């Protein structure tokens, strides 16, 4: 359903873009990045993967888009502090964040985005259940923040840019359990 909504938005945006660049306009927008980073909180570890962005540029300064983050996670296992039998096993997982971002661009190169996320941590190993975030395969609530700097051709609201990004992403596994992921990335944006 999320992908269908994004594709419909891009279709409408494409028709509106044909009307010209004067005043407010809507244009399709795509992008992607390779990312690498780590987590703070339980479970701790590192993440590596990529993301794809599809959405609409709303005039020169604003955008909204869906960003699918697909990553491999190597998470520290055995995180129970009182567990004397902690053997430090690691837990590997597939991570997918489904993010809807709202973005503002300043100085034609710096973008700030924020939005909600539905997070999935899948294929955690059964013998490492101390990682509460991996104790069950389920969707979790998350938030996503993204700051990017674009280097490349600009033409009043158009970009074909190489981007460097910093992304922060807290995920809430339950009321009192959260982990924060920090990612650095290199990619592109076209709109």
Domains in the chain (CATH in brackets) are 2-190 (2.40.160.20)
Cβ-contact 95, 108 below 8 angstroms: no
Percentage of the chain exceeding pLDDT 70: 68
pLDDT of residue 35: 96
- Taking residue 82's Cβ as centre, other Cβ atoms within 10 Å add up to 5
Q: How much is the mean pLDDT over the chain?
A: 77
85 or 62: which leads in pLDDT: 62
- Higher per-residue confidence, 15 vs 181: 181
pLDDT, tens digit, for every residue of 23-38? 678 889 899 999 999 9
Query: What is the C-alpha to C-alpha distance for residues 151 and 110, in angstroms, rounded to an integer?
Result: 10
Q: Are 185 and 34 in contact (CB under 8 A)?
A: yes
Residue of 124 and 67 predicted with greater confidence = 67
Query: 135-139, 145-149, 163-167, 181-185 — which is least confidently predicted?
Result: 135-139
Strand 110-122 versus strand 45-58 pairing type: unpaired
| pLDDT at residue 15 greater than cutoff 50 | no
Which of the four pLDDT bands, split at 50, 70 and 90, describes residue 7?
A: very low
156: confidence class by pLDDT, cuts 50, 70, 90:
low
Contact 62, 103 (CB under 8 A): yes
**N- to C-terminal Cα separation, the chain:** 23
| SS3 of residue 14 by DSSP | helix
Q: What is the band of 109 on the pLDDT scale with cuts at 50, 70, 90?
A: confident
Nearest Cα to Cα of residue 67 among 189, 180, 175, 155: 189
Residue 108: its pLDDT value, please? 76
Q: How confident is the model at residue 129 (pLDDT cuts 50, 70, 90)?
A: very low
Look at residue 191 and tell me whether its pLDDT is greater than 70: yes
């Amino acid at each position: 359903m999320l992908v269908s909504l994004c594709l419909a938005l891009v279709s409408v945006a494409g028709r509106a873009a044909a009307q010209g660049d004067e005043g407010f306009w809507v244009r399709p927008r795509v992008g992607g990045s390779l990312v690498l980073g780590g987590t703070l909180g339980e479970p701790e570890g590192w993440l590596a993967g990529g993301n794809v962005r599809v959405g609409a540029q709303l005039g020169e300064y604003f955008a909204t888009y869906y960003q699918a983050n697909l990553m491999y996670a190597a998470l520290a296992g055995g995180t129970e502090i009182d567990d004397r039998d902690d053997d430090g096993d690691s837990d590997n997982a597939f991570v997918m964040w489904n993010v809807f971002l709202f973005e503002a661009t300043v100085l034609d190169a710096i973008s700030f985005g924020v939005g909600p996320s539905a997070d999935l941590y899948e294929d955690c190993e059964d013998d490492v259940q101390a990682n509460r975030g991996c104790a069950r395969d389920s969707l979790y609530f998350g938030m996503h923040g993204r700051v990017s700097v674009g280097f490349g051709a600009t033409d009043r609201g158009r970009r074909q840019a190489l981007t460097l990004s910093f992304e922060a992403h807290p995920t809430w596994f339950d009321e009192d359990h959260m982990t924060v992921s920090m990612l650095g990335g290199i990619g592109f944006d076209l709109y």
